[in-house]
A = this chain, B = another copy of it.
Amino acid sequence: MVTAIVLLNAARGRVNDVAETLAGLDGVSEVYSVGGRYDLVVIIRVASNEALAELVTERLQALDGIEETETLIAFRAQSRHDLESMFSIGL
């Protein structure tokens, strides 16, 4: 299981429809509208680095209305407690 957090800015006035489209993509686990320098935070959970590459570069970045993305790839889930809760919901 590979987790990545994508920080994303949408074109002006497009935040909500971009968020809705993102939420429908396979591999996208959560989408949040946030305050601060970014418009959206997208949490991705996929099976492999290759699946991450495919989701980010072929589907996510190709969406209309997205202006900038910065992908933070997790190389370790530091928390045991979180791994457990991930099991319990079948992720």
Contacts and interface: CB of A to CB of B under 8 A. Distances in A.
Interface of A: 2-5, 12-13, 15-16, 19-20, 22-24, 28-41, 43, 45, 49-50, 52-53, 56-58, 61-62, 66-67, 70-83, 85-86, 88-89, 91
Nearest to A49: B75
A28 B82 contact: yes
5 contacts: A4-B35, A29-B91, A33-B53, A33-B57, A50-B76
Q: How many copies does the complex hold?
A: 10
Given A2-B49, A89-B88, A78 B35 contact: no
B79 A31 contact: yes
A30 B89 contact: no
